[in-house]
Amino acid sequence: MKKNKPSSNNFPGADWQILGELELPVGSSNADDAIKARLMEILNPLNLHADFLNKILKSAQDAAARVMQNGMELEHIHLLVFAPKDRSSKRQTWGFFRIEKIEGAADVDSPNHAIEFYLYVEG
């Protein structure tokens, strides 16, 4: 399992900043534990409500389990977490959406699956 450092890179034309990522080998026996540990590490600085954290965690674990069981020849699952660059307000209601995509499907024998989480402030 490869743990990547958060990047300060911002994506051109977007107000999203990557908070962190996790590269998880397909077939990893402790995937749920690895996802939980890394997501808690990534999301801890945001001081999110426990119920909201559990929703993100469950979504990530369910998506990873589905990918691992689908039978595709994948090497890794990449979990990425993004949030708005401007998170200055302290009392916020957060939401999130998830995007999944297959990376490099056309140019490699064993593509990777990306699961991206975008956290946003509601309202």
Q: How far is CA 75 from the centre of its chain?
A: 17
Per-residue pLDDT for the chain (123 aa), expressed as one digit of tens each?
444 444 444 444 458 899 999 998 877 778 899 999 999 999 999 989 999 999 999 999 999 888 878 756 777 889 999 998 876 666 678 999 999 987 665 555 556 788 999 998 886
pTM, rounded to two decimals? 0.78
Q: Is 40 helix (H, G, I), strand (E, B) or coil?
A: helix
Tokens read off for 76: 């890794």
Q: Are 22 and 34 in contact (CB under 8 A)?
A: yes
